[in-house]
Amino acid sequence: MPEHQQEFVPSSAKAQSAGEQGRRYGLRDGACQAVTQGSGEQYLSAFALLLQATPFQLSVLSALPQLIGTGAQLASVKLLQWFPDRKALIFSGTVGQALVWIPIVLLPLLFPQWGPWLVVGGAAAYFACAHFTTPAWNSLIADWLDQHERGAYFARRAKIIAGLSFLALCGAGWVLTSWQDSTAAWWGFVLIFALAGSARILSAWSLSPVQDVHPTAHQEAQQGFRDFFLRSATKDFRRFLFFSGLMHASVLIAGPFFVLYMLQDLHLSYLGYGGWLAAGLLGQLLTLQAWGQFGDRFGNKALLSITGFTVPFLPMLYLVSTNLGFLLAVNFVGGVIWAGLALGLQNYVFDSVRPEDRAKAIALYSTVNAVGWSVGALLGSWLVEHLPARIEWAGFMLQPASNLPFVFFLSGILRLLVSSSLLGTFHEARLVEQASRQRLFGELPLVKPVAQFMVWALPKSER
């Protein structure tokens, strides 16, 4: 074998091995993240409600951490240009996430009169650390993935997150319910938040064997965010950002107040609330892989078009009934739809920018979403304070458990307006298989296996 080939083969094998380590780390990080989400992040609002948080404080709890987190993400992108050690940035942010759980749980208990605001501050620090890692993490993982396998990989990762989050949610709900009627109810939150912090430590530990073999090969382009947005970003990407930001604003009009509706208005136990959250995760778990394959095959724009026109109807259904079984079914369907929408939004960013602009594009995408998130949450808190609790018209009266279902309904109307006006303004970013609407519908998660089962169940003479 020639000398130059003898040198090339070990280098290629090393890169392949490092790539496999990176992909495995991405899945392990997802598993740890799932535990943190299921036992920690998902119950932050419930903890604030235990400390007598108002609707306005719940909206700030949703809005402020995202804004501060976005600032941390923008700073991370700048730092990545000067300090291209992506692994070190990810490690420091992950450890920071783990340590922040200590003040989140302790400070509100030491100073209960400031409890809700201390939870807001702790959550802001937590999400700042989380967002700080995002550009480097996505840039690192994307280096190991071909553009036609991203959907399948991220769907697999999201499936792991959904499955473990489901278990963590149910377990945390059971723990909290055990102390729900006790004067020491906060002990349950101490336990589940300690588990959340420990999971982030495990994630940082799983990063140690990963090698960043391309620390400068995809170093971020040195242009600023403004130049990137005006010159490098395509018109489709800019319109996509507009759609994503307004969709997040519409969604967050309702988002922060489901915990208030479930625990305060419907008087569900923590276990019931955790079951409602888990139903959504179960919907994700059963369909994420299929959504990933759908996006890889037919494109993320097709995925966004389908889910963008179905997600508006989800919050409207909360006007129909307060039956727990019905609410679980609604959130299960919501999990199915949100799995596809979230996957399509994320992967459209990867598809529509150059590798050297990827971290910058992700930070810009997160910034737009955070602004929409914050505006929506604050508008939602205003609606909670001002909308009536019942509607009377022509002898007909509609009086739900509170005015929150009316807030949810308005959120759905705005989502529908955003989808109908903006989804047609941008196009698919890569070459994909073309298909009719009827065929796309037949390929949808849950629809395709049900249709195949019905065909199989028919007598041969009727097929």
The domain ranges of the chain are 17-432
* φ, ψ at 396 (rounded to 5°): -100, 135
Minimal CA–CA distance to 165: which of 333, 327, 32? 32
Position of tokens 């304070």?
385
Number of C-beta neighbours around residue 255 at 10 A: 21
| Residue 19 scores a pLDDT above 70 | no
Confidence of residue 447 (pLDDT cuts 50, 70, 90): low
Enter the pTM of the model: 0.76
Confidence of residue 454 (pLDDT cuts 50, 70, 90): very low
| Residue 219 scores a pLDDT above 90 | no
Least confident of 58-62, 251-255, 331-335, 348-352: 348-352
More confident residue, 85 or 3: 85
Tell me what pLDDT residue 380 has.
93
Position of tokens 């395509």?
234
Q: Is 168 in contact with 35 (CB distance < 8 Å)?
A: yes
| Residue 276 scores a pLDDT above 90 | yes
Q: Is 198 in contact with 63 (CB distance < 8 Å)?
A: no
Tell me what pLDDT residue 29 has.
83
Least confident of 1-10, 37-46, 85-94, 417-426: 1-10
Furthest CA-CA distance within the chain: 91
| Residue 6 scores a pLDDT above 60 | no
The CATH code of domain 17-432 reads 1.20.1250.20
The predicted model gives 311-316 an average pLDDT of 95
Cα–Cα distance, 131 to 119 (Å, whole number): 18
Amino acid at 200: R
Confidence of residue 8 (pLDDT cuts 50, 70, 90): very low
| Residue 357 scores a pLDDT above 70 | yes
| 256-286 exposure pattern, b = at least 16 Cβ within 10 A, e = fewer | bbbbbbbbebbebbbbbbbbbbbbbbbbbbb
Confidence of residue 282 (pLDDT cuts 50, 70, 90): confident
Tell me what pLDDT residue 183 has.
66
The predicted model gives 372-399 an average pLDDT of 87
The predicted model gives 302-310 an average pLDDT of 91
Confidence of residue 457 (pLDDT cuts 50, 70, 90): very low
- To 10 degrees, what angle do helices 270-298 and 324-352 make? 40
Tell me what pLDDT residue 326 has.
95
Residues 79, 81, 85, CA angle at the centre, nearest 5°?
75
Q: How far does CA 70 lie from the centroid of its chain?
A: 14
More confident residue, 456 or 422: 422
Mean pLDDT of the chain: 82
Number of C-beta neighbours around residue 460 at 10 A: 5
Number of C-beta neighbours around residue 230 at 10 A: 11
Could you give the percent of the chain with pLDDT greater than 70? 82
| Residue 224 scores a pLDDT above 70 | no
